[in-house]
């Protein structure tokens, strides 16, 4: 096969070096976990319960998310209304929403002091119990329902509009459309969505930390944390880390196996006219579904805003200091993540060892941040105080966690730039820094801004590895907020939640917006 001549070879070396670095930074902690794992005693009953709960709650969360998303996505696919685009955009927000903020919002709506429980009390019914498996599943559905809706909506919109027109001329009823068009699409799309959500739900440490716990609602990651902080049983923590890696590898393999390319063809990214869905009953059903999904997403966020607005000005200085640490951390993470991703993206776009590089880029999905953190703790403990290195380690682990998403944003842009301008640049003798400056960077402003914003927002809201390392008075804003919630300082926690929400959305907006200004593409 003919190989393309590329303008700069230094990028090849840089990409290979970065990929090697990423591999080492993930493999070393994994190796440390492997060596330290205390396999002699095996897993105890509590550990097996954690394994069972991790899988069970992830299955339930994925099933409910996808099950609810199907009718909501169908309603969105076949209805045009004011605010539709804004609603679909809002469904992308949970990805960058700090877990702890969402949890506070869910508590405000579904907790004992929330409106739903008040209504149930008024009706003489028992209140909702949000702590435990119910809360874990509820939070996972809150985070993943929008993702499922977006994935399935894409499937619906990928059915060519002509096929719906054809169905109308053939006299298809709603049942015929479901049988011949919707179910085949769902058979393609829904398993992938289910498995992605299953994978996400097996690694959402912060949800289990805040809403789970106890013998009946402890995930493997929460068990690692408890072995670390409460029992300081590093051997057991490491063993559980290996179990977690096993769960993620299996779930990740299932995602790759279960996500099929869409066979339905291409269509327009707009609602499709449906002649079978014009009955008043269908219209009312769709309106109810869209309204319910919107309220489910918006009410917790509105609760965070309304409760936090009055409290934000009175936040103690320690919270503002934590906010400053979080801002620095998110900026460092964004820089590091983009700095790692760009050379790798160039190498991937050039097709050299693409599969290997993509696997390395996605390793942080299989080896979860908490496991990497556990390994780094084991490596660093004999050398330096882990608490002293809390912020650099958190930044590094967050950058690795964001790497798959930043790569996904960058690679298509690099491919496009190289395909369009690579040969021209070669003929003009542009190489190294000139190629980067004149060809790549102007065309990558958008994905660079988006990727950096994503990494910054994820780091801003992260409540994972920092919990293993941070000493008192050294916490990030999410950790301080968690501590406030644990101390029942609800007013301060509400203020901190609003501050964290503003900062997370703010850093994402600034980077994303910055990337769009004067972008070449």
Partner 1 sequence: MLRLEGISLGFDGFTLAVDLDLPKGGRLAVLGASGGGKTTLLSVIAGFLMSDRGRIWIDGVDVTEAPVPDRPLSILFQEGNLFPHLTAFDNVALGLRPDLRLDEEARTRVDETLLQVGLAGVSTRKPGDLSGGQRSRVALARMLLRNQPLALLDEPFAALDPGLRAEMMALVADLCDATGLTLVMVSHDLRDAERLCDALILMQDGRIVTHGTMADLMANPPDTLKHWL
Q: CB–CB of 251/198 below 8 Å?
A: yes
Q: How far is the CB of 268 from partner 1 (least distance, A)?
A: 12
Q: How far is the CB of 182 from partner 1 (least distance, A)?
A: 11
| Selection from 330, 321, 42, 371 nearest residue 202 by Cα | 371
Residues in 266-305 at the binding interface with partner 1, rule: CB under 8 A: 273, 275
Calculate the alpha carbon distances from 488 to 135, 212, 310, 342 in Å: 18, 17, 17, 44
| x/- letters, 100..139, toward partner 1 (CB under 8 A) | ----------------------------------------
User: For residues 502-512, b (16+ Cβ closer than 10 Å) or e, as one string?
Assistant: ebbbbbbeebb
Q: How far is the CB of 175 from partner 1 (least distance, A)?
A: 7
Residues in 350-409 at the binding interface with partner 1, rule: CB under 8 A: none
Q: How far is the CB of 20 from partner 1 (least distance, A)?
A: 41
| x/- letters, 408..437, toward partner 1 (CB under 8 A) | ------------------------------
Of 264 and 444, nearer to partner 1 (C-beta) is: 264
d(CA 151, CA 70) in angstroms, rounded, equals 10
3-state secondary structure of 260: coil
Q: CB–CB of 438/430 below 8 Å?
A: yes
d(CA 77, CA 151) in angstroms, rounded, equals 12
Of 40 and 169, nearer to partner 1 (C-beta) is: 169
| x/- letters, 233..272, toward partner 1 (CB under 8 A) | ------------------------------xxx-------
Q: How far is the CB of 155 from partner 1 (least distance, A)?
A: 13
Q: CB–CB of 340/363 below 8 Å?
A: no
| x/- letters, 155..194, toward partner 1 (CB under 8 A) | -----xxxx-xxxxxxxxx-xx--xxx--x----------
d(CA 92, CA 153) in angstroms, rounded, equals 13
**513 counts as binding partner 1 under rule CB under 8 A:** no
Q: If binding means CB under 8 A, how many residues of this protein chain bind partner 1?
A: 24
Of 84 and 163, nearer to partner 1 (C-beta) is: 163
Of 166 and 424, nearer to partner 1 (C-beta) is: 166
Q: Going by C-beta distance under 8 Å and a sequence separation of 6 or more, which residues neighbour residue 355? A: none
d(CA 140, CA 477) in angstroms, rounded, equals 22
Q: Tokens at residue 2, please?
A: 């003919």
HSE, CB side, 13 Å, CA atoms: give it for residue 138: 23
Residues in touch with partner 1 (CB under 8 A): 160-163, 165-173, 175-176, 179-181, 184, 263-265, 273, 275
């Amino acid at each position: 096969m003919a190989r393309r001549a590329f303008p700069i070879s230094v990028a090849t070396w840089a990409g290979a070096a970065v990929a090697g670095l990423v591999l080492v930074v993930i493999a070393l902690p994994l190796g440390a976990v492997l060596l330290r794992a205390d396999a002699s005693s095996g897993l105890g009953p509590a550990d097996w319960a954690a394994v069972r709960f991790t899988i069970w709650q992830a299955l339930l969360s994925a099933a409910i998310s996808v099950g609810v998303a199907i009718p909501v996505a169908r309603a969105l696919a076949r209805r045009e209304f004011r605010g539709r685009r804004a609603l679909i955009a809002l469904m992308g927000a949970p990805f960058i929403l700090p877990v702890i903020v969402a949890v506070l919002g869910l508590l405000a709506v579904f907790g004992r002091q929330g409106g739903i429980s008040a209504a149930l009390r008024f009706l003489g019914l028992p209140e909702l119990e949000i702590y435990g498996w119910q809360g874990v599943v509820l939070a996972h559905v809150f985070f993943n329902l929008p993702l499922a809706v977006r994935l399935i909506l894409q499937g619906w919109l990928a059915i060519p509009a002509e096929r719906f027109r054809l169905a109308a001329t053939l006299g298809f009823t709603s049942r015929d459309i479901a049988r011949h068009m919707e179910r085949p699409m769902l058979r393609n799309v829904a398993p992938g969505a289910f498995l992605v959500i299953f994978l996400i739900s097996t690694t959402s440490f912060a949800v289990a930390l805040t809403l789970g716990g106890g013998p009946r609602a402890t995930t493997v990651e929460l068990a690692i944390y408890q072995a670390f902080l409460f029992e300081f049983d590093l051997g057991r923590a490491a063993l559980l880390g290996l179990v977690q890696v096993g769960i993620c590898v299996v779930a990740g393999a299932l995602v790759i196996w279960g996500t099929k390319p869409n066979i339905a063809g291409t269509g327009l990214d707009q609602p499709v006219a449906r002649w079978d869905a014009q009955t008043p009953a269908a219209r009312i059903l769709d309106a109810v579904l869209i309204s319910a999904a919107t309220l489910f997403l918006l009410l917790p966020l509105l609760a965070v805003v309304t409760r936090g607005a009055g409290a934000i000005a009175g936040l103690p200085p320690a919270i503002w200091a934590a906010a400053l640490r979080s801002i620095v951390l998110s900026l460092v993470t964004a820089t590091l993540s983009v700095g790692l991703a760009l050379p790798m993206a160039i190498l991937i776009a050039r097709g050299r060892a693409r599969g290997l590089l993509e696997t390395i880029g996605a390793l942080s999905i299989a080896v979860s941040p908490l496991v990497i953190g556990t390994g780094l703790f084991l490596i660093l403990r004999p050398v330096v105080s882990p608490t002293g290195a809390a912020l650099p380690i958190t930044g590094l682990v967050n950058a690795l966690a964001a790497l798959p998403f930043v790569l996904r944003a960058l690679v298509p842009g690099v491919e496009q730039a190289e395909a369009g301008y690579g040969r021209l640049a070669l003929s003009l003798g542009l190489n190294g820094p000139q190629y980067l400056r004149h060809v790549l960077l102007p065309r990558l402003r958008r994905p660079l801004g988006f990727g950096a914003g994503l990494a910054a927002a994820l780091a801003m809201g992260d409540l994972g590895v920092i919990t293993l390392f941070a000493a008192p008075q050294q916490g990030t804003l999410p950790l301080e907020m968690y501590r406030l919630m644990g101390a029942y300082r609800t007013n301060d926690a509400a203020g901190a939640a609003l501050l964290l929400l503003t900062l997370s959305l703010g850093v994402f907006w600034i980077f994303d917006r910055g990337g769009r200004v004067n972008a070449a593409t």
